[in-house]
Structure 1
Amino acid sequence: MAGLRIEFCGEWFEADPEGAFEIGRDGDLEVDDNPYLHRRFLVVTHEHGMWWLSNVGTLLSATVCDESGGVQSWLSPGTRLPIVFPRTTVVFTAGPTTYELQAELDDAPYADVHTDELRGLGDRDAAEATIGLVPFTTSQRQLIVALAEPLLRRGGTGLSELPSSVDAARRLGWTTTRFNRKLDNVCDKLDRIGVKGLRGGPASHAKNRRARLVEYAVASRLVTSDDLPLLDLDPADALADGSGEDR
């Protein structure tokens, strides 16, 4: 039987195939004493020869992907998916805090999918590159990095605070109006290729959209710690590729 281990903040847990491994405010893995987090949020079980990750919460969702970010799923309340890769990353947000944990599976039935097309590119080339089918300008990538900065600087699994739009705009030296306009553009682009949770009706709160963008960007390796220098890029360089246009 393939063993499954889960790591959070440097601490490892062994999942028991004969029982349920619970993740949340209470449980086998007590993530955080966060009132926005369900007491029982995620549950790992072993059924029919496979490990499964279930969302037993009622409000929160999680982003789940393979190590490289090439395969990704959005685990909404009441749904479950099999754990099939050697390393699986799980990212979710509760209130102002974003969490990341990792699962390692022995003798995994599938290999990680590698997406190396952006590795080794400079900032200018990366700005023109296509991620999936979506081209991002330098300023749009700056926005994503500004929101994901706490996670990217953490250097491992754990928890971090999600920046507000005001704080992220200030970090970039932008007005909040400009930031929100570019955030709309980024979310629209990702929504068009099927990334869930970035658009919706009046119930779609701005904080939820920012959280979902960060979860997707970090889990899918849309941005990595190698992109942090974009935050200190000279505004003139960011405009050189036409990213001053809101598109």
Structure 2
Amino acid sequence: MSGTAGVTVEFAGEYFPIESGGRFVVGREGDLELDENLFLHRHFLEISDDDGLWWLANVGTRLTATVTDSVGGVQAWLAPGARLPLVFETTTVVFSAGPTTYELTLHASEPTFRATKREHDDGGASTIGAVPLTLSQRLLILALAEPQLRRDGTGMSEIPTSAKAAERLGWTVTRFNRKLDNVCDKFDRVGVPGMRGGQRTFATNRRARLVEHVIASRLVSRDDLALLDVPLPADADAEGEGEPE
């Protein structure tokens, strides 16, 4: 279908159609120039038409991206040098460079598969995926993801520091970091990649990776932000974990 848009990239309210047989580069430079963030590769992601399929490739050397279908039912971690076929009608791509998280959406005009929304009822329990969370752990996640959730549509947002997120919750930084350790350990145990790292980069990377995972998987939403304005019950830490104060 020469001359028609096979894939359209959506970012911050702008749309970039890619013609069949085309190639589209995302990074500090390229067809979609995100910003002057020096943590971001000059060329990071490449979308191309090859062998009858559209592909998303990570052409960077350090950063990774989280890729999901429109309902968060399928998730992949796109490492440097890897590529994935764009088989869904809508694909969400979330990644972080330094303290900034970016989200863009890829729309395929002729998808190979169509995502099916998962029906579930957790009875109001504080559970994200297969990981049971206390209310205070859920609040921690919301405090970190708040800028991303409050933003309309795709775009970029700053991940709060531990100090800022702790202040938002009325916690000490020590308490916040202890709970962050616990949340990251829980996700690490169920196989979510990127929740652990070297000592120098761990503090920043784990916050970024946690936000990427919960946003890309649709595990929290803007509606959940109302919890941040409700006083935390005194026994919130006792919900299923016995986490010490």
Q: Is the TM-score greater than 0.5? A: yes
Q: CA deviation at 1:218?
A: 0.4
CA distance 1:26–1:46, change in 2 (3 Å):
same
Question: Any conservation in 1 of the 2:56–2:83 contact (CA below 8 Å)?
Answer: yes
Task: Confirm or deny that 1:132 pairs with 2:129.
Answer: yes
Greater shift after overlay, 49-58 or 11-20?
11-20
Give the alignment of 1:28-107 within 5 angstroms: 28-107=31-110
Find the partner of 2:206 among 195, 201, 209: 209
Task: Confirm or deny that 1:194 pairs with 2:191.
Answer: yes
Q: CA deviation at 1:16?
A: 2.9
Tell me which residue corresponds to 1:233.
230
Find the partner of 2:147 among 150, 164, 167: 150
How many percent of aligned residue pairs carry the same amino acid?
A: 56
Determine the C-alpha separation between the residues in 2 that align with 1:9 and 1:185: 33
Question: Any conservation in 2 of the 1:23–1:40 contact (CA below 8 Å)?
Answer: yes
Q: Please identify runs of 4+ aligned residues in structure 1 that moved more than 4 A.
A: none
One-letter code of the match for 1:92? F
Q: CA deviation at 1:203?
A: 5.3
Tell me which residue corresponds to 2:178.
181
Determine the C-alpha separation between the residues in 1 that align with 2:73 and 2:231: 31
Question: Any conservation in 1 of the 2:7–2:107 contact (CA below 8 Å)?
Answer: yes
Determine the C-alpha separation between the residues in 2 that align with 1:27 and 1:112: 30
Question: Any conservation in 2 of the 1:139–1:238 contact (CA below 8 Å)?
Answer: no
Paired residue total: 241
Determine the C-alpha separation between the residues in 2 that align with 1:221 and 1:31: 23
Determine the C-alpha separation between the residues in 2 that align with 1:149 and 1:100: 14
The alignment partner of 2:15 has SS state of: strand
Find the partner of 1:21 among 18, 24, 29: 24
TM-score by length of 2: 0.92
Tell me which residue corresponds to 2:215.
218
Q: CA deviation at 1:66?
A: 0.5
CA distance 1:237–1:56, change in 2 (3 Å):
same
Determine the C-alpha separation between the residues in 2 that align with 1:21 and 1:152: 27
> What residue ranges of structure 2 are gaps of 5+ in the alignment?
none
TM-score by length of 1: 0.91
> What residue ranges of structure 1 are gaps of 5+ in the alignment?
none
Q: CA deviation at 1:240?
A: 7.9
The alignment partner of 1:64 has SS state of: strand
Q: CA deviation at 1:126?
A: 3.6
Greater shift after overlay, 105-114 or 182-191?
105-114
One-letter code of the match for 1:51? W
CA distance 1:126–1:56, change in 2 (3 Å):
same
Determine the C-alpha separation between the residues in 2 that align with 1:152 and 1:174: 21
